[in-house]
Amino acid sequence: MRMRNWSYLPCLAAVLALLLSACGGGKKETYVDTPVDTLYNRAMNSVIAEDWSKAAGQFEEVDRQHPYSVWATKAQLMAAYALYEGSKYDQSIVAADRFIQLHPGHRDVAYAYYLKALDYYVQIADVGRDQQQTQRALAALGEVVRRFPDSRYGRDAQLKMQLATDHLAGKEMEIGRFYEQQRYYLAAINRFRRVVDQYQSTTHVPEALERLTECYLALGLKNEAEKTAAVLGYNYPGSKWYGSAYSLMTGHPNATADNDKGWFGSVVGAIF
């Protein structure tokens, strides 16, 4: 049998290793230090094109390559804005928080607080779901109002707080209606009273008072029902909910200026 000569294998292995290293390693990217204005303008072009993901990355590159420039400060806030527009709300919150921490006295810090609040606000779920995000939005919006009450951000945050509060009241009403339908009247009363006591400025208060009247009557608490209906008539005399409560209490189909004077006047006089 012919014997093979393996003595050349170590040399061959070394050559193959070098070849594989050259082929597999590829060409490494070289770092290019781009002028700050060029980077920033590229990012702004992406904003104009509404390519939000690309814009966010480009603004972050401005900050990375030129961290001590004036443009870097602007880029930090613009990155947060681009992330917001691109629906990357959690990342936008992180970016806005970073700007606030690095530049607490900056002239645009009010916008950073406002942008963070918007990130929470746009994530508010419908009333059928958990309202933790609504609570976070209210807290962030309240921070804007507290810190910058006279700014345009503070005024808009105040309006959004009212809408968010109305949203929370709507959640309480939904739960209360469910309890009432299941005849869990005490649980329903607790929900409706919470709306009346804690969310007095919302659009849900008239219905909450009418639902309370229903629940009190269902439990045989006529005096409580009368007082609640009277409060409803005193504060919302033209609402459909007072008309419903009036019908429940008097048996008349509708409350009018003429036919409610006797009952309404006597009950209101007793309360007020």
Tokens of 219: 């439990």
Crossing angle of helices 70-85 and 89-102, in 10° steps, is 160
Query: Does a structural domain hold residue 84?
Result: no
- As a whole number, mean pLDDT of residues 147-156 equals 94
Q: By percentage, how much of the chain surpasses pLDDT 90?
A: 64
The candidate with the shortest Cα–Cα distance to 120, out of 93, 85, 157, is 93
* Cβ atoms within 10 Å of 20's Cβ, excluding its own: 10
Query: Does a structural domain hold residue 259?
Result: yes
- More confident: 28 or 53: 53
Question: Is the Cβ–Cβ distance between 103 and 126 less than 8 Å?
Answer: no
Q: What's the rounded Cα separation, in Å, for the pair 228 and 146? A: 35
pLDDT band at 130 (very low <50, low <70, confident <90, very high): low
Q: What's the rounded Cα separation, in Å, for the pair 145 and 164? A: 14
Q: By percentage, how much of the chain surpasses pLDDT 70?
A: 78
Query: Does a structural domain hold residue 268?
Result: yes
Q: Which domain holds residue 211?
A: 204-272
Question: Scanning the structure block, which residue is given the tokens 């002028």?
Answer: 35
- As a whole number, mean pLDDT of residues 183-212 equals 95
For residue 5, pLDDT beyond 60: no
pLDDT band at 262 (very low <50, low <70, confident <90, very high): very low
Tokens of 40: 């920033």
Q: What's the rounded Cα separation, in Å, for the pair 230 and 266? A: 9
The candidate with the shortest Cα–Cα distance to 52, out of 80, 72, 94, 90, is 80
* Cβ atoms within 10 Å of 190's Cβ, excluding its own: 15
Domains: count for the chain: 1
Tokens of 4: 């093979």
Q: What's the rounded Cα separation, in Å, for the pair 164 and 202? A: 10
- More confident: 217 or 11: 217
pLDDT given for residue 33 in this prediction = 76
- Most confident range, picked from 2-16, 18-32, 80-94: 80-94
For residue 10, pLDDT beyond 50: no
- As a whole number, mean pLDDT of residues 115-141 equals 84
For residue 269, pLDDT beyond 50: no
Question: Is the Cβ–Cβ distance between 160 and 117 less than 8 Å?
Answer: yes
pLDDT digits (tens, 9 = 90+) for 58-100: 999 999 999 888 999 999 999 999 999 999 999 999 999 999 9
DSSP 8: T
pLDDT band at 176 (very low <50, low <70, confident <90, very high): very high
- Cα three-residue angle 179-255-232, rounded to 5 degrees: 50
- As a whole number, mean pLDDT of residues 32-49 equals 89
pLDDT band at 255 (very low <50, low <70, confident <90, very high): low
Q: What's the rounded Cα separation, in Å, for the pair 242 and 255? A: 7
pLDDT given for residue 19 in this prediction = 38
pLDDT band at 32 (very low <50, low <70, confident <90, very high): low
Query: Does a structural domain hold residue 21?
Result: no
pLDDT band at 128 (very low <50, low <70, confident <90, very high): low
Question: Is the Cβ–Cβ distance between 198 and 155 less than 8 Å?
Answer: no
